[in-house]
A and B are shown apart, each in its own frame.
Chain A
């Protein structure tokens, strides 16, 4: 994995595609990945870029042009906290404040829609409905900030479980439309389970979702989806035995592509331990006194 880290070191701050302008999500994952790989100087450089991108109100917008949306604020706070919470305390405070002010738009319950549309969560863009990935990222950021019992966090956990499909897995966040159950996807399923690892749930859909992720890993999939799946399963102490081989295969498929986003996710997935202490099943067990 050293070769991934060495390559990534030259790419942060970076974008979603080779040669593209830096954006917040790839840079935040890059900062975290380099930090976990012990490449502190490059991680700090990426963290500083995130500081420059932050607006006065605390939002760290998704794109370098400074225009909203700000769902990526969660990722910036996760990176700052892991790298040096003390150094970035001011940015962290403003980021968490913005997250708590930011809300998905609830809708009246409708017979045509299966999920609970009254739960708030977080949206991709301002003044729109909440969806799974931004809600999962915000939940992780709040848990890392010690806000696990905050009402917004608790509601977000209810939202994520509510949006799981009956047979397991999740898509972007719809369950049933006009009496039809929708289709699951690996990436959002994995990100939600990563966020729920610190929470746990007796809901049978949680176990079904973990099984769905394990099953989907055996089919051809995208680099990002695979990385999130491995990260999620690791957080649930179910890391696939062949995880490292899958990561290396994906790295080799990238070839000469200097893709900051994908390399960051692959490097994060290479960690054999859960990524954030507060986000793991082990952390939940410890806090419940059953470790």
Chain B
């Protein structure tokens, strides 16, 4: 893989972009994110290429956050919860889970800005969370980095109403680390998913719900519809943003058994549906056909590319179609036409 983008491909944003984005971010975090997003229909997504786990991820993440609208001052003294994807870690399948280097780098960025940072996860298939931390390497990395870990599967929970209302669930039990966070950062791995096509920042929020209430797997959600509950959870968690590990990705039979696909990307954005829509396009899949993205509320960001302000790299130059299983419900998700959008 080539050197990191700080050297090979400078991020493409200027002072005016940063200023505009900074004002927007300050307004969003200051207390009216839902109102702000409702009034502002556009999304912002930053994409960095040529990224490596041993590269300058701190700089990349910092640049991306600034470029998409967050102002460091707004984070001072805030509680930031990083939510990686540790669904079912296996040490010989690192493409399944968020890389520890991404998590530690993100923690460093938010700490520099004065935030109180912790990492939290409720692994969906592994009841022994300690195993998930060992197999993924995240436990050791957090220990080295002095970052606290919150086991969301077993924390005390608070009831919050379902603000999405796409499913029949009236509300959700949210672990205290989630319910009390000022900002929850979805840090998924960019992967295919054998039921819903793509799993990225929105689907990753299945892992904020506690297994002690929802089970292993979180079958309560499955029985109420995966797309519907993905949209509902995203509508119901506190303010969120996404930092996507798109460096070593997974294609084929994701989210567990797929094969590794090297992409070298980091995607960042304040509105998760727009981030996932961009990720899907890069994967050669049509976000408009992915049901949970269709169900995402307006606050989560637009899917239409013309409504998304792209920062950093142009996603069109990064498209590399991901293999999906040869099943009708997945093949139909492919982008129909190959034209200017898909190089």
Binding site for B on A (CB under 8 A): 15-17, 20-21, 23, 62-63, 65, 67, 69, 105, 123-125, 127-129, 131, 133, 171-172, 177-178, 180, 182-183, 185-188, 220-225
B179-220 near A? 1/0 per residue, CB < 8 Å: 000000000000000100000000000000001111111011
Question: Contacts of A220 on B, CB cut-off 8 Å?
Answer: 134
> A20 near B130 (CB under 8 angstroms)?
no
**A160: min CB distance to chain B, Å:** 16
10 residue pairs of the A-B complex, CB under 8 angstroms, read A16-B212, A17-B154, A69-B215, A125-B220, A127-B223, A129-B223, A183-B256, A185-B128, A221-B134, A223-B128
> A128 near B223 (CB under 8 angstroms)?
yes
> A16 near B154 (CB under 8 angstroms)?
yes
Question: Contacts of B215 on A, CB cut-off 8 Å?
Answer: 69, 123-125, 128, 131
> A222 near B253 (CB under 8 angstroms)?
no
Return the 7 tightest CB-CB contacts between A and B, nearest first: A124-B215, A222-B130, A16-B154, A128-B219, A222-B131, A222-B128, A225-B128
> B130 near A223 (CB under 8 angstroms)?
yes
**A165: min CB distance to chain B, Å:** 13
Question: Contacts of A131 on B, CB cut-off 8 Å?
Answer: 215-217, 219
Q: Does B6 contact A (CB under 8 A)?
A: no
**A223: min CB distance to chain B, Å:** 6
**A88: min CB distance to chain B, Å:** 24
Given A16-B212, A178-B194, 14 more pairs with CB closer than 8 A: A16-B151, A16-B154, A17-B154, A17-B155, A63-B213, A105-B223, A124-B216, A129-B219, A172-B125, A172-B216, A185-B88, A186-B131, A221-B134, A222-B131
Q: Does B260 contact A (CB under 8 A)?
A: no
- The CA-CA distance from A186 to B128 in the complex, in Å, is 9
- The CA-CA distance from A289 to B151 in the complex, in Å, is 47
- The CA-CA distance from A123 to B154 in the complex, in Å, is 18
- The CA-CA distance from A62 to B214 in the complex, in Å, is 11
Q: Pick the contact of A21 from B88, B129, B156, B222 — CB < 8 Å?
A: B156
Question: Contacts of A23 on B, CB cut-off 8 Å?
Answer: 154, 212
> Taking A23-B212, A180-B257 as contacts, is the C-beta distance between A221 and B131 under 8 angstroms?
yes
In the complex, chain B residues 202-261 whose Cβ is within 8 Å of any chain A Cβ: 211-217, 219-220, 222-223, 253, 256-257
Can you name the residue of chain A whose Cβ is closest to the Cβ of B223? A128
Binding site for A on B (CB under 8 A): 88, 90, 125-131, 134, 151, 154-157, 173, 194, 211-217, 219-220, 222-223, 253, 256-257, 325, 327
> A125 near B214 (CB under 8 angstroms)?
yes
Question: Contacts of A178 on B, CB cut-off 8 Å?
Answer: 194, 253, 325, 327
> A20 near B216 (CB under 8 angstroms)?
no
Can you name the residue of chain B whose Cβ is closest to the Cβ of A222? B130
Q: Pick the contact of B154 from A15, A180, A222 — CB < 8 Å?
A: A15
Q: Pick the contact of A180 from B129, B151, B212, B253 — CB < 8 Å?
A: B253
**B217: min CB distance to chain A, Å:** 6
Query: How many A-B contacts are there with CB distance less than 8 Å?
Result: 100
Question: Contacts of B256 on A, CB cut-off 8 Å?
Answer: 182-183
> B219 near A125 (CB under 8 angstroms)?
yes
- The CA-CA distance from A131 to B216 in the complex, in Å, is 8
Can you name the residue of chain B whose Cβ is closest to the Cβ of A132? B216
Can you name the residue of chain B whose Cβ is closest to the Cβ of A262? B130
Q: Pick the contact of B131 from A21, A123, A182, A185 — CB < 8 Å?
A: A185
- The CA-CA distance from A220 to B135 in the complex, in Å, is 9
Question: Contacts of B131 on A, CB cut-off 8 Å?
Answer: 185-187, 221-222, 225
- The CA-CA distance from A211 to B321 in the complex, in Å, is 41
> A224 near B219 (CB under 8 angstroms)?
no
Interface centre among A21, A105, A183 (most CB of B within 10 A): A183
> A133 near B219 (CB under 8 angstroms)?
no
> Taking A23-B212, A125-B214, A224-B128 as contacts, is the C-beta distance between A183 and B88 under 8 angstroms?
yes
> B212 near A133 (CB under 8 angstroms)?
no
- The CA-CA distance from A65 to B318 in the complex, in Å, is 49
**B179: min CB distance to chain A, Å:** 14
Question: Contacts of B90 on A, CB cut-off 8 Å?
Answer: 183
**A170: min CB distance to chain B, Å:** 12
- The CA-CA distance from A92 to B194 in the complex, in Å, is 43
**B299: min CB distance to chain A, Å:** 28
Question: Contacts of B214 on A, CB cut-off 8 Å?
Answer: 124-125
- The CA-CA distance from A61 to B313 in the complex, in Å, is 51
- The CA-CA distance from A67 to B171 in the complex, in Å, is 13
Q: Pick the contact of A133 from B156, B216, B253, B257 — CB < 8 Å?
A: B216
- The CA-CA distance from A131 to B223 in the complex, in Å, is 14
**B274: min CB distance to chain A, Å:** 29
> B253 near A172 (CB under 8 angstroms)?
no
- The CA-CA distance from A187 to B130 in the complex, in Å, is 11
**B152: min CB distance to chain A, Å:** 11
Can you name the residue of chain A whose Cβ is closest to the Cβ of B151? A17
> B223 near A20 (CB under 8 angstroms)?
no
Q: Pick the contact of B213 from A15, A16, A67, A221 — CB < 8 Å?
A: A67
> B220 near A182 (CB under 8 angstroms)?
no
> A128 near B130 (CB under 8 angstroms)?
no
Question: Contacts of B217 on A, CB cut-off 8 Å?
Answer: 131, 172
> A187 near B127 (CB under 8 angstroms)?
yes
**B90: min CB distance to chain A, Å:** 6
> B127 near A188 (CB under 8 angstroms)?
yes
Interface centre among A16, A133, A172 (most CB of B within 10 A): A172
> Taking A123-B215, A180-B257 as contacts, is the C-beta distance between A63 and B128 under 8 angstroms?
no
Can you name the residue of chain B whose Cβ is closest to the Cβ of A223? B130
> B212 near A62 (CB under 8 angstroms)?
yes
Question: Contacts of B88 on A, CB cut-off 8 Å?
Answer: 171, 183, 185
**B32: min CB distance to chain A, Å:** 31
**B97: min CB distance to chain A, Å:** 13
